[in-house]
């Protein structure tokens, strides 16, 4: 009966608007929730075919979806491990309760989170979501990991990095030797130089370098013998080299040749000597042949003009920060920084198809498509932003406007039901 279909359509209208009211109330309730994605209700009509000359109201059906692609504004915080994503991509996380179960950890996704170390040093939110990342090598370099599986991901833990050393692996020796010491009749004094370096265990050691001139009977030899001793090896000789300097007009005072007497060989292409020390391998740069910025022999003074090296003593971890590429960097009080993890950004073909979970977390589904782990800033993904959180995507003013419209629509559908009731009452009164 047509009038009965009107009643059903009114009831369907009440249910649809009640669903829309639920999404609006959810959005308004979460207007201050970091990382919240707005829910939206869409209406679609239902058509019921009737007999010729009769119309049957089909009513309306409400469907809801979470607009995960909508992003809220980013706000600054004082916590370096408050993390948000600027652009496309999501952070990989796992529930803290899953860590005690063993086996492969389930991957969930978040667009922002306030991560702080728990009692085990694992970066965890107040709701129990653990940040996941790829661990770096001990030297801070990143190995290669698979991009279509969670096999390489593990909880980001910073307590194991409380103390760390930064061994010296490279040193540049820019020294000027006095040309007057290699001429006939000179004193032939040996020049001494001691340089501190840091071994693999963070210990402070000394590289003792001596330069002995070759004094000829006549003229000038322009030749020195460089001997390198290592304090970590009880001052044993680790390398000995003959340095010949050029005395021509064009390249006077620069290295003309280097002859290896013992120890690591001199590489003329790079100007370096590969030393094997008790504290670890070290690359010593003395300059290439003819390089005026390397070792020189000029004038009458011995001058270490440019000595550079990397490394530092053992440091205590002071803070951890995340850069735009997703690298988690441990910063130590002695001034050096080491990468300990990389946080990839997870992307799926259809982010709105993800399954919504509690605590602004999401899970991959057949509707979202398969995931891929990107380096932040590569491919379609944006950047990782530390000291930041993403605010709710709810626009309260727009939600209140929709609330008014929904209230009016609900009242109108209720009026339809009231009118149908009155008409049915009139139909009943015909019999009287």
What is the per-residue pLDDT across 289-313, written as a single tens digit (0 to 9) for each? 999 999 999 999 999 999 999 988 8
Q: Tell me which of 288, 310, 332 is where a domain ends.
A: 310
Q: How far apart are CA 203 and CA 312, in angstroms?
A: 9
Clarify whether residues 272 and 357 are in a common domain. Answer: no
Clarify whether residues 358 and 423 are in a common domain. Answer: no
Q: Best-predicted range by mean pLDDT among 117-121, 166-170, 177-181, 313-317?
A: 177-181
Decide if pLDDT at 78 tops 60: yes
Clarify whether residues 54 and 97 are in a common domain. Answer: no
Clarify whether residues 174 and 302 are in a common domain. Answer: yes
Query: Residue 321 corresponds to which tokens in the numbers above?
Result: 């920060």
* Domain harbouring 263, CATH code: 2.60.98.20
Clarify whether residues 210 and 231 are in a common domain. Answer: yes
Mean pLDDT of 396-404: 95
Decide if pLDDT at 8 tops 90: no
Pairwise pLDDT comparison (412 vs 426), residue with the higher score: 412
* pLDDT tens readout for residues 118-154: 999 999 999 999 999 999 998 889 999 999 999 999 9
Domain containing residue 25 = 2-70+393-430
pLDDT score of 59: 82
Clarify whether residues 385 and 332 are in a common domain. Answer: yes
Q: Tell me which of 278, 310, 342 is where a domain ends.
A: 310
Clarify whether residues 259 and 294 are in a common domain. Answer: yes
For residue 169, the 8-state DSSP code is -
For residue 264, the 8-state DSSP code is S
| Residue 198: strand pairing partners | 204
Place of tokens 């980013």: 74
| Residue 268: strand pairing partners | none
State the helix-helix crossing angle for 2-29 and 396-430, rounded to 10 degrees: 160
Q: How far apart are CA 368 and CA 68, in angstroms?
A: 11
How many residues are listed for the chain in this entry?
432
Pairwise pLDDT comparison (202 vs 205), residue with the higher score: 205
pLDDT score of 279: 87
- What percent of the chain is predicted at pLDDT more than 70? 97
Place of tokens 């679609």: 44
Burial letters for 280-291: b for 16+ Cβ neighbours within 10 Å, e otherwise?
Answer: bebbbbbbbbeb
Cα Rg for the chain, rounded, in angstroms? Answer: 37
Mean pLDDT, all residues of the chain: 92
Burial letters for 104-120: b for 16+ Cβ neighbours within 10 Å, e otherwise?
Answer: ebebbbbbbbbbeebee
Least-confidence region, from 41-55, 186-200, 320-334: 41-55
**pLDDT band at residue 57 under the 50/70/90 scheme:** confident
Q: How far apart are CA 279 and CA 233, in angstroms?
A: 9
Number of domains in the chain: 3
Clarify whether residues 48 and 122 are in a common domain. Answer: no
pLDDT score of 432: 64
Q: Cβ neighbours of residue 91 under 8 Å, at least 6 residues apart? A: 83, 85, 109, 110, 111, 112, 113, 131, 132, 343, 345, 346, 384
Whole-model pTM: value is 0.77
pLDDT score of 316: 87
Closest of 246, 238, 241, 222 to residue 286, by C-alpha: 241
Q: What is the DSSP string of 292-342?
A: TTS-EE-TT--EEEEEEE--EEEEEEEEEEE-TT-EEEEEETTS-EEEEEE
Q: Tell me which of 310, 342, 357 is where a domain ends.
A: 310
Question: Is 337 buried (19+), middle (13-18) or exposed (0-12) by CB count in 10 A?
Answer: middle
Mean pLDDT of 104-125: 94
pLDDT score of 334: 84
Clarify whether residues 410 and 370 are in a common domain. Answer: no
Clarify whether residues 417 and 385 are in a common domain. Answer: no
Bridge pairing between strands 170-177 and 296-297: parallel
- Other Cβ atoms within 10 Å of 297 Cβ, number: 28
Clarify whether residues 198 and 272 are in a common domain. Answer: yes
Q: For residues 268 and 241, is the Cβ–Cβ distance under 8 A?
A: no
Clarify whether residues 198 and 303 are in a common domain. Answer: yes
Mean pLDDT of 239-245: 98
Decide if pLDDT at 1 tops 60: no
């Amino acid at each position: 009966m047509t009038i009965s279909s009107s009643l059903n359509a009114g009831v369907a209208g009440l249910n649809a608007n009640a669903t829309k009211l639920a999404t609006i109330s959810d959005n308004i309730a979460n207007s201050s929730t970091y990382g919240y994605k707005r829910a939206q209700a869409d209406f679609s009509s239902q058509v019921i075919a009737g007999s010729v000359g009769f119309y049957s109201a089909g009513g309306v059906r409400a469907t809801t979806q979470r607009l995960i692609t909508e992003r809220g504004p980013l706000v600054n915080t004082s916590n370096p491990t408050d993390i948000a994503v600027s652009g496309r991509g999501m952070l990989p996380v796992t529930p803290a309760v899953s860590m005690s179960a063993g086996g492969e950890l389930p991957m969930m996704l978040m667009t922002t989170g306030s991560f702080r170390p728990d009692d085990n040093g694992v970066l965890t939110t107040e709701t129990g979501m653990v940040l996941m990342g790829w661990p770096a090598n001990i030297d801070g370099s990143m190995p290669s990991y698979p991009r279509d599986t969670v096999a390489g991901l593990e909880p980001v833990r910073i307590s194991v990095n409380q103390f760390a050393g930064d061994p010296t692996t490279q040193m540049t020796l820019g020294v000027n030797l006095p040309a007057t010491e290699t001429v006939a009749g000179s004193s032939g004094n040996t020049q001494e130089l001691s340089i501190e370096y840091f071994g693999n265990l963070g210990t402070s050691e000394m590289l003792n370098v001596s330069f002995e001139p070759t004094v000829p009977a006549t003229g000038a030899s322009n030749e020195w013998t460089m001997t390198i001793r290592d304090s970590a090896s009880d001052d044993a000789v680790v390398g000995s080299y003959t340095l010949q300097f050029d005395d021509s007009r064009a390249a006077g005072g620069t290295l003309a040749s280097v002859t290896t007497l013992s120890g690591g060989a001199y590489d003329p292409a790079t100007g370096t000597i590969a030393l094997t020390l008790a504290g670890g391998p070290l690359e010593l740069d003395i300059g290439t042949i003819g390089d005026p910025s390397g070792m020189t022999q000029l004038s009458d003074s011995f001058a270490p003009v440019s000595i550079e090296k990397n490394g530092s003593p053992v440091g205590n971890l002071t803070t951890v920060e995340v850069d735009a590429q997703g690298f988690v960097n441990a910063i130590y009080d002695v001034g050096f920084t080491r990468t300990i993890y990389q946080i990839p950004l997870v992307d799926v073909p259809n982010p709105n198809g993800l399954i919504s979970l509690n605590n602004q977390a999401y899970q991959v589904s057949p509707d979202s498509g398969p995931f891929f782990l990107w380096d932040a800033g590569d491919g379609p993904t944006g950047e990782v932003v530390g000291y930041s959180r993403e605010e709710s995507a709810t626009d309260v003013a727009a939600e209140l406007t929709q609330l008014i419209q929904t209230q009016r629509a609900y009242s109108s559908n209720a009026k339809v039901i009231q009118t149908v009731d009155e008409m049915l009452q009139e139909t009943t009164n015909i019999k009287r």
